[in-house]
Structure 1
Amino acid sequence: MMETRHPQLKQNFNELVAIEKLQHMHNYSKSSTVATILAPLLCIPLYEDSTPHLPFYVWLVAMAIAVMARYCLLKLIRAKDKPQRDFVFLNIAIGMVTFVWGIGWFVFVQPSDMVSYLLYQIISLTVLFVGMVGYCIDWKTFAAFVIPLKLPELVFITLNFSQIVWPIALGSMVAFYLALKMGFLFASSWEKSFSLRLRNDALFDQLIEEKNASMAANIAKSEFIATASHDLRQPMQSINIFLDMVDPSELKDKHSSIFLRMRKSVSVLNRMFNTLLDISKLDSNFAVNERPFHLTEIVNILEDRFSDLCAEKNIQLSFVDGNFVVQGDANLLEQILRNLLANAIQYTDKGAISVAFHGQSGTLGFTVEDSGCGIPAEDLPLIFKEFFRSDHSRSHYDGLGLGLSIVSRIVKKINGTCTVQSEVGQGSTFTIQTSFPVLERSDALQSRTHNSDTRNTIHRYEQTRPATQSIHLGIIENDDALLTAYQQYFTRSGYNVHVIPHSQADFEAHLASMPKLDFILSDFRLGEHDGIHFIQRLREEFNHDIPACIVTADTSPQHLELFSRHNIEVMYKPIDIKSVEAFIATRIH
């Protein structure tokens, strides 16, 4: 029986045991009703001729009354309402029938007739063992079943001790004793088994609750990250634009030093936001979206993002042998490289960082090698865990400890492998082997190197972009600070900037005086309507699929399909304004 020190718990357990036993025995009793009716009827051909008619028919009537009473009492049992009362009904119901079977010893058996004695002994033992099947889980009920059956036999043996065969009688009484003992032991074993089942059910329920709580916590974490990320990215985007508009060379030495430190701190925040964005995407049920692409697409993005940072630290950044066309997910590959490069730049104070691509075995692989501080051997098994940061470098470098965890998760998602070799003070080399097939080679990119003399982002496309004076740029943004930043930057760069209202009434009134736009730059969350609504409305007005990009702080991955369906590209805040300008220039061509 379940062991418990709390009386209430023990009482509850006893009630559950009683209800469970009662339900089982009640169901068994109902299922054996037909057998209870047929068994006495079989005695008619067996004993009608050899038994005096009066006692025989009296016994038969008594059995009919007992069977009917049994049926009525079983109908009264509800199992859950009043288990103690129902136990009494059940014990009386089955005890009456077995008692009439016990009286049969005095009706059908002649002590001197060995055949009649053995025949009824077989009948009696059959009834005994049939009852054990259904009632031995509760020793009191089993006793109520077996004692009325065997006690008349014991009286019969005692009264006719000089005529019966004692070995048979003794064997019957031994069977009676063993049946009682087995019933008691089985009832105790059943209670222990039931107690274990309750505990297992409780543990299972607890596991389900903990799983649900874990899932709820994970959802809450993702929602918090998305909400907090959105609310923080908005002002960070404004800060990034205003910082990009400042030329440090025009500042005094003291102010220039302060400005560079501030920009470095903002750069750290930008990396943290990008990391949170990656985590948010990975927590969603995203799918690998494979398409043919050229590695130069990714290399150009990484150059724009990291070349200036490398120049500030006087680190040489090179991309080697990226002349491949690949079938794979360019976004996931860019995420892997972005996190590895951010990690390499963060932990490298001098020297060089090299990204080398190869197409061995027909699939894309690459290495990211740096000359940074290196990783201690004891930390290598831990570096891919979330939020892990080595004590070797924790005090010297900022970060969340998520970049390599993101890399590991994406590599697993694309069925790739990731290995690392490192030596303290000498640098680290990360080797990634993807499952993306290499489709062809091209001479578009052999080697690109960036150092402190590298041109900045705006210069890289300056030669090919159209004259900004002829570009009509529509901007839809409900954050006043960010709207001012966009307006000042693009106006200063020579664009014809058109600020588009985000309230429906003002928007409709503004359409009449609006020129045909070359590009639309919009936020996503704009209040009553989102950016997609206004972009589609402008396209309908001018009957032209105007190139458009949503620059948003909303990191919900499900919006990616929505943007793609409307042929709207997306960039996530915070992003440097030069990258936005370069993106616009490539789409206007």
Structure 2
Amino acid sequence: MSFFNDQSDSTEPMDSRQVQQVALEKISYMHGFAKTSTPATIIAPLLCIPLFDSVDLGSNFHIWLGMMVVAVMVRIFLIRSIRLDDNAATNFAKLNWAVGIVTSVWGLGWLMLVPGMDPVNYLIYQVISLTVLFVGMVGYCVHWKTFFSFALPLKITELLFIIIHSQFIIWPIAIGSLVNFYLALKMGFFFSKSWEKSMALRFKNEKLFDQLVQEKNVSVAANIAKSEFIATASHDLRQPMQAINIFVELLNLNNLKEVEKSIFQKMRCSITVLNKMFNTLLDISKLDSKMDTAYATFELDAMLDDLIPSFQQLAAEKKLDLRFDHEHFMIHGDANLLSQLLINLLSNALQYTTSGSVKVNFSNDQGKLVLTVSDTGCGIPEEDLPFIYKEFFRSQRSRPQHDGLGLGLSIVSRILHRTGGSVSVETEKDKGTVFTVHTHFDITGMAADSTPQLDPDTQAPLTSAKESPDSLHLGILENDSALMYAYLEFFVSQGYVVHPIPHEEAEFKHALMTIPKLDFILSDYRLGDKDGIYFIEQLREEFNQAIPACIVTADTAPQHLTLFKQLDIEVLYKPMDIASIAKFVGNRIG
């Protein structure tokens, strides 16, 4: 079997630059190995002195040892003369001579030393020879020519020794050594070729990566240019459209003939469509500009109150049954983005439904808001489903019947990508479509009941002072219901608008939405899982001001005094009469 039977592969041939880089990496690796193995090259011959000291080898051992000293010195000189920025062929030649000259002396040992040895020492030298061979294979097999330069001088002389002393050698050991030599050469050759192939694949991958980066940059640049064009066009075109809208509103239909009225109504419908298109382009522009999301807690009812009337009018014009099914949720999220989601899904549903109904449902899925919009419209063709979220995509089936830019579902997709939500669709031809949106907006509770909050025992209002522009708003956190009622009765009688604030986390967040302002916070220290400091800091952050605050506590630990002072929180210690507390609050507010 030939060593050089290379298997064909599909790897592209390397260009001259890549060939030079492969040569540089090869010489760099082998040069580094040669330098680090120099101590071993020096120590190994020295160990032979005590090892063969008892063997009568005459002057041959001293001659061999002298030759080894010279070979090692030449090796060190050649290794040190290699410069990685030199010509690759020159460096390979220096390295091949450096590694070959030392193994040549080890090979001469077969002819100069081994013939005078007993079988035990013969075996020792055989082990040394094989060790040198396999250590060299580790360092030089990345370049098969260098490895051959290393291995051939070592083993060719052993083969010559076997031929000359065939009647004295131990044949199983000799044959095993030659087989190992053959396998080492073969492994070195194929490892070198495999290494070159891996380098070629690396170059190919780097080239593909560079192409991908370039294509990505082109795509990003095109997307930016598109977004800038949309933003600019939307702005510049909206200016004259605004004038047209005003002029249209100034026209008095009563001064027009019936034919002209009909034309005018059609023109107004066209203008309405254009306005919707511009608004959609503006929405896309805002989303592409990566405007920050504005998370806050809001009432779902309040958001829907602004949207429902216009959609009800559109549904009435098409004689569609439009229904909204939802609880009175308090939502923590971006109300504007949620509104855009609903507007685009509902507009699509109403546009593509000619009879039947459109239903909107808001539900709670493990504390997250889920929006479902279902209709009894024409459905979405199966072949169009992979493309419905792409911008400017419009189905060929519906394009002739409906106006639009094909941006509605693209806006939905962008909003959900920004806020971490997801959307799924179920559709059936001529029976309708259901879009289900899973948002990452938290449902924090239910909207406050409009009926007055009454004490469970007396049914008296807990807060009753009528608010005026000069009224002072006092927030109270107290987990003792009797003490809370006493606070309420007293401070209301003093003319304060009192806000009892719950200390349960969910109820606390809900209560924040009902408090217009706070002039002072009065709190107990120990309030279940959280303390008064936590709630005071939350209230200050919510109202974005350092609201004066006082903790009334029975806890007199000195470390708390330092903490209260650092946070600019006053402290009063129980027991204390309520009149004194009121006087303290009044002084701090005044």
Under a length normalisation based on structure 2, what TM-score does the superposition of the two structures give? 0.65
Residue 234 (structure 2) aligns with: 229
Residue 22 (structure 1) aligns with: 27
Residue 238, structure 1, aligned to residue 225, structure 2: no
Distance 2:308 2:116 in 1: 110
Residue 401 (structure 1) aligns with: 406
The answer (yes or no) to whether the contact 2:57–2:116 under 8 Å persists in 1 is no
The answer (yes or no) to whether the contact 2:12–2:200 under 8 Å persists in 1 is no
Distance 2:322 2:348 in 1: 15
Alpha-carbon offset, residue 146 of structure 1:
1.1
Matches within 5 A, 1:89-488: 89-111=94-116, 113-283=118-288, 285=290, 288-302=293-307, 313=317, 315=319, 320=324, 324-328=328-332, 329-348=334-353, 355=360, 368=373, 373-376=377-380, 378=382, 381-382=385-386, 384-386=388-390, 387-411=392-416, 413=419, 415=421, 419-420=425-426, 424=430, 430=435, 435-437=441-443, 439-441=445-447
Tell me the secondary structure at the aligned position of residue 27 of structure 2.
Answer: helix
The answer (yes or no) to whether the contact 2:321–2:356 under 8 Å persists in 1 is no
Alpha-carbon offset, residue 35 of structure 1:
0.7
The answer (yes or no) to whether the contact 1:299–1:319 under 8 Å persists in 2 is no
Distance 2:140 2:411 in 1: 61
Deviations 1:337-357 (A, max 9, x none): 211332244335678766566
Query: Equivalent of 2:78, from 73, 76, 80?
Result: 73
* Partner amino acid, structure 2, of 1:79: L
The answer (yes or no) to whether the contact 2:370–2:438 under 8 Å persists in 1 is yes
* Partner amino acid, structure 2, of 1:175: N
Tell me the secondary structure at the aligned position of residue 439 of structure 1.
Answer: strand
Distance 1:288 1:340 in 2: 20
Distance 1:185 1:122 in 2: 25
* Partner amino acid, structure 2, of 1:192: K
The answer (yes or no) to whether the contact 2:380–2:427 under 8 Å persists in 1 is no
Matches within 5 A, 1:486-505: none
Distance 2:208 2:232 in 1: 35
Deviations 1:449-478 (A, max 9, x none): xxxxxxxxxxxxxxxxxxxxxxxxxxxxxx
Distance 2:168 2:438 in 1: 95
| Structure-2 change in CA distance of 1:56 and 1:356 (3 Å) | closer
* Partner amino acid, structure 2, of 1:378: E
Structure 1 unpaired stretches of 5+? 445-564, 566-589
| Structure-2 change in CA distance of 1:367 and 1:197 (3 Å) | closer
Distance 2:216 2:396 in 1: 33
| Structure-2 change in CA distance of 1:323 and 1:199 (3 Å) | closer
| Structure-2 change in CA distance of 1:370 and 1:176 (3 Å) | closer
| Structure-2 change in CA distance of 1:232 and 1:175 (3 Å) | same
Deviations 1:418-465 (A, max 9, x none): 5556662x7656565655426335789xxxxxxxxxxxxxxxxxxxxx
The answer (yes or no) to whether the contact 1:310–1:345 under 8 Å persists in 2 is yes
Tell me the secondary structure at the aligned position of residue 437 of structure 1.
Answer: strand
| Structure-2 change in CA distance of 1:364 and 1:47 (3 Å) | closer
Distance 1:365 1:78 in 2: 68
Tell me the secondary structure at the aligned position of residue 285 of structure 2.
Answer: helix
Deviations 1:387-427 (A, max 9, x none): 44333321111112221333355356364655556662x76
Distance 1:361 1:125 in 2: 70
The answer (yes or no) to whether the contact 1:108–1:116 under 8 Å persists in 2 is no
Under a length normalisation based on structure 1, what TM-score does the superposition of the two structures give? 0.65
* Partner amino acid, structure 1, of 2:183: L
Residue 493 (structure 1) aligns with: none
Residue 62, structure 1, aligned to residue 67, structure 2: yes
Paired positions, count:
441
Q: Please tell me the root mean square deviation across aligned C-alpha atoms, in Å.
A: 3.7
* Partner amino acid, structure 1, of 2:142: I
Alpha-carbon offset, residue 91 of structure 1:
0.4
* Partner amino acid, structure 2, of 1:324: H
Distance 1:234 1:122 in 2: 92
Instruction: Return the structure number with greater relative CO, CA threshold 8 A, min gap 6.
Output: 1
Structure 2 unpaired stretches of 5+? 1-5, 451-543, 545-590
The answer (yes or no) to whether the contact 1:383–1:405 under 8 Å persists in 2 is no
Alpha-carbon offset, residue 96 of structure 1:
0.7
Alpha-carbon offset, residue 360 of structure 1:
8.8
Alpha-carbon offset, residue 81 of structure 1:
3.5
Distance 1:254 1:370 in 2: 36
Distance 2:185 2:350 in 1: 82
Alpha-carbon offset, residue 92 of structure 1:
0.5
Identity %: 49
Alpha-carbon offset, residue 137 of structure 1:
2.4
Distance 1:433 1:47 in 2: 83
